[in-house]
Structure 1
Amino acid sequence: MYKRIMVATDGSDMAGKAVEHGVLLAKSVGADIVFVTVTESWSAFVIASDVEYGKISAVDKFEASANDAAGKILDAAKKVAAGHDVQCDTRHVHDRLPAEGIVETAELEDCELIVMASHGRRGLGKMMMGSQTAEVLAVSKIPVLVLR
């Protein structure tokens, strides 16, 4: 059925449920997984504030922090896959809106399904679908499994 499944994660508890579900689905159909996390572009307001307070290398600091956070998120997902003997790859997409990075990476990686949570860290009220999930549903040509 599926040979390659993408699981999007931002490290939130909800995304963790999507990671677990995606791994179990992949195991049941004999598919590989690509875990993806997306780092948005730095905020000019935050960077300007850091520069004002003497942190001249604010962009470098942001990039290092984003890489560190993405590494931790993807390492946690890899551990779940390893615990179920599921083959996986990881991708950290830099400087993109999450929905764009998820859909583009799924296409580049020839994934046949995208698995993601209904909302993540930035979910406004945990009652409604997150804007990034809604965007993925709106633009993806690849089927999307959304977990609540």
Structure 2
Amino acid sequence: MYRHILIATDGSERAAKGVEHGFALARQLQAKATVLTVSEPINTGFDDALGWSAVATSLPDFQNARDEAARKVLDAVTGQAQQAGVTPQLLHVADRYAAEAIVDTAEREACDLIVMASHGRRALGRLLLGSQTSEVLARCGVPVLVIR
């Protein structure tokens, strides 16, 4: 049914549940698994009229910290993959918004399913999915399995 599953994670506890489900599905279907983590662009609080975010993202300290955080997320995923008996492709996309990077990666890598977690919300937000999950669902033609 599915031959290539894209599993999106931000390293959170909730996302780890999505990774677990994605690996279990990949193992059962003998599908290829690609795990994606995304580092969003820095938000300085300005509308960027002065170009501050472009300056901030070029700073070596910022880039090193961003890359190290992504490495930690993917290292944790590697442990989960070993336990699940899956050998995934690991990807880090920097300076993109999560939903945009997920959709683009799914299309570029020819994935036929996206697995991602949706963070729980309170009150009215319970009726709605997380904003990134909602955007992926709205923008992508690939089926999306949302883990809660």
Q: TM-score, normalised by structure 2?
A: 0.84
Task: Give the residue type in structure 1 aligned to 2:99.
Answer: A
Distance 2:78 2:142 in 1: 23
2:110 counterpart of 1:110: yes
- For 1:135, the equivalent position in structure 2 comes to 135
Q: CA deviation at 1:2?
A: 1.2
Asked if 1 retains the 8 angstrom alpha-carbon contact of 2:41 and 2:57, the reply is: no
Distance 1:63 1:74 in 2: 16
Asked if 2 retains the 8 angstrom alpha-carbon contact of 1:42 and 1:62, the reply is: no
Unpaired runs of at least 5, structure 1: 47-55
Distance 1:57 1:95 in 2: 8
Distance 1:96 1:59 in 2: 17
Task: Give the residue type in structure 2 aligned to 1:141.
Answer: G
CA distances 1:115-138 after superposition (whole Å, capped 9, x unpaired): 00012xxx7647342100000000
Task: Give the residue type in structure 1 aligned to 2:101.
Answer: G
- For 2:50, the equivalent position in structure 1 comes to none
Distance 2:130 2:141 in 1: 19
2:82 counterpart of 1:92: no
Asked if 1 retains the 8 angstrom alpha-carbon contact of 2:57 and 2:63, the reply is: no
In 2 relative to 1, CA 93–58 (structure 1 residues): closer, same or farther, beyond 3 Å?
closer
Q: CA deviation at 1:87?
A: 2.1
Root-mean-square deviation over aligned CA pairs: 2.1
Q: TM-score, normalised by structure 1?
A: 0.84
Distance 2:111 2:58 in 1: 36
Instruction: Give matches, 1:21-60, under 5 Å.
Output: 21-45=21-45, 59-60=59-60
In 2 relative to 1, CA 124–97 (structure 1 residues): closer, same or farther, beyond 3 Å?
farther
Unpaired runs of at least 5, structure 2: 47-55
Task: Give the residue type in structure 1 aligned to 2:79.
Answer: K
CA distances 1:28-75 after superposition (whole Å, capped 9, x unpaired): 1001110001111112349xxxxxxxxx99832221111001111011
Identity %: 46
CA distances 1:83-109 after superposition (whole Å, capped 9, x unpaired): 122121011011111000011011111
Greater Cα shift, 81-90 or 91-100: 81-90
